[in-house]
Amino acid sequence: MSNCWREASVAVTLCLIAAISWARPVAVESGVVEGETKDGLTIYKGVPFAAPPLGQLRWREPQPIAPWKGTRKATSFAPACMQQGVSMPGEKPPEVSEDCLYLNIWTPAKAADERLPVLVWIHGGGYTNGSASMPLYWGDKLAQRGVVAVTIAYRLGPLGFLAHPELTAESGRKSSGNYGLLDQIAALQWIQRNIAAFGGDRERVTIAGQSAGAMCVSMLMASPRARGLFHRAIGQSGGVFEPVQIAPQYLLANAERDGKKYAESLGADSIAALRKRPAADLLESMAGRVSHPVIEPRVLPVAPYDAFLSGEYNAVPVLVGFNAEEARSLTDVGATSAQTFAADIESSFGALPAPIIAAYPHATDAQARQARLDLERDLRFGWDMWAWARLQAQSGRGDAYFYYFKQQPAFPRGSAHEGWGASHFAELWYMFDHLDQEKWQWSASDRQLAGLMAGYWTNFAKSGDPNGDRLPHWPAFGSRGEVLHLGEAAVVDGVPNVRSLQVFDVVYGELRGKPFAAR
């Protein structure tokens, strides 16, 4: 063996030892966990942040984890929380369990004292499904840009959000529901206590989410229980800013009433009886009616709009936005016609005020199909994100950065994603920089945009400002209402679809009895 070969072998061995040594056990508050190394990162999967919410802990606040002895392997993802179906078309159904309060960590740190920014991902899925281990959400590419990426689980469906008079009485806080939000808060508290062991900085935590995950971000910003647990917030295609008059099910009394009806539909005359039921049984019947957050004293005392308006919210910089064709992945408009347009809308969303319907011309069948897509985009996503940016800008307590995603990904024919365009979910492949997870015909502009978005998102996690690294300048939303349009190029422009969105302002202002706070 030559000296050159011998020296090279030693060098390789030392590199491997270094990599393995960083995968050695790490002490957290309840014991020791051991991860695995890959591509310059150390990855910890299935790390518990709260006790399993089983038996008498079902429908209670998350409890501390019992300490364990020895070293706990953190090399496999934990099951997702109980659910039916999947959170997005084409997703592989996850393994599920009621024992599901775990998180996953991707860290580029080589020492515990590096104090890297932390980005915490809250998955979407309409509060009823989704997974912290879905490959699209893996934090590897973001972590390689210098952040500690964390994905967290939370209870879903009726197990995560059931309100009921008995639960309110036993809580001692005159509240029930929002167990899923309490799980998110428990995960953020665990991160505050433990992330330094993984090279993370507890003073630079960003919460981020898409769809229902973004709605959770907006509620965490309004929650006194989440105060001090995060320092920036990212919301993608989801927020909770509409008047409660159009979502009365969010009010505790109404949620308790629906909870009683849900229990009765299962033949259960008490919460004790419901706690004895197998978790899978609870997903049947009226589960959808009780699978939503609740305005209640413990976690969400007031609606996010009112919290922002009063200034009594967790004021941090925000990065928010929505997609140009949100509804294409959510709604089949093939049968929509000019004649059926209003009835189709009412069937999906209930009776909407006439000015909203009139804001979307639908005189021909072709117009009606496009109007359905545009109205649903603005009703479910566009107005909320615009309101979020304006409320934040008006507060003067942290910048707001607003984006509009309009790139059409290379979704292939015959796939579950065919015809989606710049739809709900479409930005995820880009901001996670995960184009290579799919062997699609990605263009040069797709790859360039993925690099831009991953750069913006991680810069924001580092400093509260997405700019830097020679990226095209992204101005704060501010009084000028500037928006970064993300497509073939990153271009600063105004608020898209603003005339239609202004109609929502008028209607919602009338429902509230006062105009929108910031124009």
Q: DSSP string of 42-109?
A: EEEEEEE-S----GGGTTS---PPPP-SSEEE-BSPPPEES-SS-SSTTPPPPPEES---EEEEEE--
| For residues 414-422, average pLDDT | 94
| For residues 508-516, average pLDDT | 88
**pLDDT reading at 17 higher than 60:** no
Q: How many CB atoms lie within 10 A of CB 109?
A: 20
Q: Which CATH architecture has domain 322-519?
A: 3-Layer(aba) Sandwich (3.40)
Catalytic residue check, 348: no
SS3 label, residue 267: coil
Catalytic residue among 292, 417, 424, 485: 424
CA distance 356 to 371: 11
CA distance 197 to 113: 8
| For residues 50-79, average pLDDT | 97
Residue 67: predicted pLDDT: 97
| For residues 457-471, average pLDDT | 96
Fold (CATH) for 1-316: Rossmann fold (3.40.50)
Q: How confident is the model at residue 15 (pLDDT cuts 50, 70, 90)?
A: very low
| For residues 304-331, average pLDDT | 97
206-244 pLDDT tens trace: 999 999 999 999 999 999 999 999 999 999 999 999 999
Residue 4: predicted pLDDT: 39
The fraction of the chain above a pLDDT of 90, given in percent, is 91
Catalytic residue among 242, 325, 326, 427: 326
| For residues 142-161, average pLDDT | 98
CA distance 222 to 399: 17
Catalytic residue check, 415: no
| For residues 395-423, average pLDDT | 95
Residue 12: predicted pLDDT: 40
The pTM of the whole model exceeds 0.75? yes
In which residue are the tokens 């991860």 written? 35
Q: Is 440 exposed, middle or buried (0-12, 13-18, 19+ CB in 10 A)?
A: middle
Instruction: Please give the structure tokens belonging to residue 69.
Output: 């002895």
CA distance 353 to 83: 34
Nearest to 409 by CA among 441, 377, 387: 441
Question: What are the structural domain ranges in the chain?
Answer: 1-316, 322-519
22-37 pLDDT tens trace: 466 899 999 999 999 9
Burial profile 264-300: b = 16 or more Cβ within 10 angstroms, e = fewer = eebebeebeebbeeebeebbebbbeebbbbbbbebbb
SS3 label, residue 134: coil
CA distance 379 to 317: 25
Residue 13: predicted pLDDT: 40
Q: What's the mean per-residue pLDDT of the chain?
A: 94
Residue 402: predicted pLDDT: 98
Q: How many CB atoms lie within 10 A of CB 249?
A: 15
Catalytic residue check, 424: yes
Catalytic residue among 131, 133, 211, 500: 211
Residue 284: predicted pLDDT: 86
Contact 456, 433 (CB under 8 A): no
Residue 517: predicted pLDDT: 65
